[in-house]
Structure 1
Amino acid sequence: MSGPTRDDTPATGGDRYRFLAEVTWALAESLDTATAADRLARLAVPQLADWATVTVVAGDGAPGTVARAHRDPARLADVDTYLAGRVAAPRDQAQLAAAMHATEPVHLTRVEPELGPGALPDGQVRGAWERLDPRSSLFVPLHARGSAVGVLSLVRCGDRPPAGPDDVALAVEVARCAALALDNARLYGRQVRVAETLQHSLLTPPPQPPGLEVAVRYRPAVSQDLVGGDWYDTVVLPDGATLLVIGDVTGHGVEAAAAMAQLRSAVRTLAYDSPDGPAGTLDRVDRVLAGLHVGTLATALVARLEAATDAAGTRPLRWSSAGHLPPLLLAADGGVRLLATPPQRMLGTDRPGDRTDHVTALGPGETLLLVTDGLVEAGRRGIDEGLARVAGALGGLAGLSADALCDRLLSRVLPDRTDDDVAVLAVRVLPG
């Protein structure tokens, strides 16, 4: 066995406090369960064991997490072979289950090197077990907030003696600190999954009204804690016009996703059941937010694209913006126009002020693009610089379908990893 990566000689009281502080600090930095479990396993060797596994139960039906570490990196392949191929090894089944629900560690001061044919399959798994040469093991329950989070399994190999009372006490303290951090990560991951599920359930495929191509894209932020409230919506109204909406709720996580769901529903319902234009719809949404004390702040842009009004196929476009980014209009000849208007208040601010409709027209072959600030501010750009970059990226895309345009635009503007959610809604008027 190769030399240790950390001194595993008996530690003094000061050394133990430093080790506990290292564990606490390392685990507190991550809200990802897999990362936290991996860090715990790595920290446990060789201070507490030659080989460690961390098993974390999900608790909500999602798959659990298993992390492992060995003081000798060359033996990790054997650990993986054993963990993947074990059948019913008592050391890992009955003892693991008992430890998970116990209040005290389960200490096996002697592990028989020969467990018999019923415990391990022949071949590679048995060979890995023999090379690992486990001699004693300590199973420490990971409990937090009154429930079982998982188990820290510490295995000592070769001629290393079993854990003594001080080592067991240190392992229990490590497990106590780790369990809370792992439970925090597990709960946070559950919140993120709820937010993502809610958000994706609402970002549905758009309808395809006659004479139009509608494409949408949603790109989540790479960081889990930035799952937010970006949304888009498209509805064919009773009078034949097409409602186009894009918005961004302030904040992130489950609260932002839930607020987005409420706001999206309010906008589409009020717009569908009212002859008001976009500005009138936003006014009604404001009254609903205030009257129901929703407490949501959001930017939004609501637009109505009418049916063709002449033989050339020209379609009037009417829109109003509640503090949202302006639309971009890609002409059939490739020119790009920013439909900038004076800024007006966000939704939910409770500040007085009239909202205004703005009007232009779309001809055959032209594409309207609505985006959220995650696209414009990609690469930490300012709004003006980002809008100019998006406009420049639209160059040469005039002949593409709405779907192809969205894909090409995202590939030109967005890096592989984005700091914020991105929503895009593109509507192309088909040539006659």
Structure 2
Amino acid sequence: MTGPSVGEPALPRPGGPEVAVPQPPALAPVAGSEHDRVRFLAEVTESLAELLDTGEAADRLAGLVVPRLADWATVTVLAGDGAPGRTARAHRDPALLADVDTYLAGRVSAPRDQSALTAAMRSGQPVRLTELDPDLGPESLPEGPVRAAWRQLDPTSSLLVPLQARGSAFGVLSLVRSGDRPPHGETDVALALEVARRGALALDNTRLYGRQLRVAETLQHSLLTPPPQPDGLEIAVRYRPAGSQALVGGDWYDAVLQPDGATLLVIGDVTGHGVEAAAAMAQLRSAVRTLAYDSPDSPARTLDRVDRVLTGLHLGTLATALVARLELPDGDGTRSLRWSSAGHLPPLLVSPDREVRLLTSRAERLLGIPESAPRTDHQVAVRPGETVLLVTDGLVEAGRLDIDSGLARLTGALRGLGGLSADALCDRLLTRVVPDRTDDDLAVLAVRVLPTCG
């Protein structure tokens, strides 16, 4: 048994004549009143206008047309530009949704199944199937649960309306009627065309939005390279993009082994979202690592030099950032951590004995703000077995907590994790704090000083 091919729309099997319906010059009155028609179309527009996810918009559109225009409906958005094909469905009787799903998943694909779709997509006109064969042969509908679901749904006619926007068709709205309900008349067709037009515009916007999201996410991931693993250290990083309701932002991390043997650690967050933020992040990340590697210096002076670059080149980028240097170990394996923060969250020091220290310091200006006040370095000893943790606010503010509450939650979640490897600590921390995707992207950088032998 095979299901529909990737991107294939969820259409009933035609068993009767296909009737191409010419585009009417204007909407005819619908049952009820002109006011009722206008109110319904306004509801369609308003319900879809604020949605940014294609799957959610398709679900909403399918639900809006049932039962007014159909007993059950599917909305199929064809795959394209690397995006998955999506099929949404709705039935006037929620108890029959399982039968719709069984039919859609199990129906057999065949070339003749595409004729109605092809006619609608190529012509840009709706196609009415005024009769549907109630007993399709086994070559189109398998015996067993799929055939039983088809009979339970009892489809008798359907209307296929192409979804097209900006000059191209990318999907179809399938409106199916069951039992004794008559096929779609001219008034129904006119209303369905207007609903499909409005729905297609909304769906196309979500597709464009999703395309930008994928570009930004791809760019972000391509820049966030695996960290080095210097002797005596264990470095782990994590990046998690924002959920579908918000664009990927400009969070980044970096770790660089410097010429003098110290390890440079950087974490930051560029203001804004989307491709622009990802591109600004790329420029800023490159500037920080280049300046720090070319002239190893204190973190504060590195940030000062980055400020001069941002200002002098008029890049117009604002960002929080924390730059740190983990120096080479002394005789007992202890290392000095020096850091400077440009308005970023403080680092945390996690000990194997469950102690978690929040290394707070006086807040200083963001990168990109043209001020002459010098920045400040801070210093702490990091002993073997301890882990330095740097994070962005996507982790701290997950669940819409304020900064103080989020830091308190983060500190609590880290207790008991200090004896883990850097990788395991990151995984356990994310599971505890953000088991699902959040409204903002987040980055985590953990550096564990390995215990000395003997």
TM-score, normalising length: structure 1: 0.89
1:175 equivalent in structure 2: 196
1:420 corresponds in structure 2 to 440
Structure 1 residues 87-131: Cα deviation after superposition (integer angstroms, max 9, x where no partner): 356774111122123222112223343555554444444443344
Secondary structure of 2:159's counterpart equals: strand
1:71 Cα deviation (Å)? 2.1
User: Which stretch has the larger CA shift, 9-18 or 192-201?
Assistant: 9-18
Give the direction of change, closer, same or farther, for the CA distance of 1:120–1:408 in structure 2 (3 Å limit). Answer: closer
Whole-angstrom distance in 1 between the partners of 2:309 and 2:172: 50
Q: 320-329 or 89-98, which moves further after superposition? A: 89-98
Distance in 2 between residues matched to 1:333 and 1:364, nearest whole Å: 12
* Residue of structure 2 in register with 1:98 after alignment: 119
Q: Report how far residue 427 of structure 1 moved.
A: 1.4
Q: Deviations over 1:363-399 (max 9, x none)?
A: 2222222121223333444333433443344334433
The one-letter code of the counterpart of 1:338 is L
Decide whether aligned partners of structure 1 residues 90 and 82 sit closer, same or farther in structure 2, where only a CA change above 3 A counts: farther
Partner of 1:35: 56
Secondary structure, aligned partner of 1:224: coil
- Structure 2 partner of 1:374: 394
Q: How far apart are the structure 2 equivalents of 1:38 and 1:389?
A: 36
Instruction: Output the amino acid matched with 1:24.
Output: T
Contact kept, 8 Å, 1:90 with 1:119, in 2: the verdict is: no
Distance 1:139 1:300, change over 3 A: same
CA deviation map 1:302-325 (0-9, x unaligned) = 1111111x3112222222211111
Aligned pair partner of 1:354 in 371, 374, 381: 374
CA contact (8 A) 2:161 2:174 kept: yes
Structure 1: gaps (5+ residues): 1-8
| Alignment partner of 1:15 is 2:36 | yes
Instruction: Give yes or no for the alignment of 1:339 onto 2:355.
Output: no
Q: Which amino acid aligns with 1:178?
A: G
Aligned length: 423
How far residue 168 of structure 1 moved from its aligned partner, in angstroms, is 0.7
Aligned partner of 1:260 in structure 2 is 281
> Which residue of structure 1 lines up, in the alignment, with residue 249 of structure 2?
228
CA contact (8 A) 2:352 2:416 kept: no
For the residues of structure 1 that align with 2:162 and 2:335, how far apart are their CA atoms?
67
In the TM superposition, what is the alpha-carbon distance from 1:161 to its structure 2 partner? Answer: 1.3
SS of corresponding position for 2:272: strand
Q: Find the partner of 2:339 among 310, 315, 319.
A: 319
Alignment-derived partner of residue 150 in structure 2: 129
Name the stretch that deviates more: 285-294 or 321-330. Answer: 285-294
Residue from 162, 169, 176 that aligns with 1:155: 176
Q: What is the SS of the residue equivalent to 2:446?
A: strand
Would you say 1:86 and 2:107 are equivalent positions?
Answer: yes
Distance 2:148 2:438 in 1: 45
Q: From 399, 418, 427, give the equivalent of 1:398.
A: 418
| Secondary structure of 2:63 counterpart | helix
CA distance in 1, matches of 2:353, 2:418: 7
Instruction: Give the match's secondary structure for 1:93.
Output: helix
Q: State the alpha-carbon separation in 2 of the partners of residues 357 and 339 from structure 1.
A: 12
SS state at 1:251 partner? coil
Determine what percentage of the aligned residue pairs are the same residue.
76
Instruction: State the alpha-carbon separation in 2 of the partners of residues 122 and 142 from structure 1.
Output: 32
Moved more, 72-81 or 310-319: 72-81
Alignment RMSD:
2.5
Structure 1 counterpart of 2:190, one-letter code: A
Look up the equivalent residue of 1:359 and give its one-letter code: Q
Cα distance between partner residues in 2 of 1:224 and 1:46: 29
Mapping of residues 164-203 of structure 1, within 5 Å: 164-203=185-224
Does the 8 Å CA contact 2:353/2:416 hold for their aligned counterparts?
no
- After superposition, the Cα gap between the structure-2 partners of 1:350 and 1:60, relative to the gap in structure 1 and judged at 3 Å, is same
Residue of structure 1 in register with 2:5 after alignment: none
Contact 1:135–1:157 (8 Å) recurs in 2: yes
- 1:173 maps to a residue whose letter is E
| Rounded Cα–Cα distance in structure 1 between residues aligned with 2:142 and 2:352 | 68
Equivalent runs, 1:302-317 vs 2, <5 Å: 302-308=323-329, 310-317=330-337
**SS state at 1:342 partner:** coil
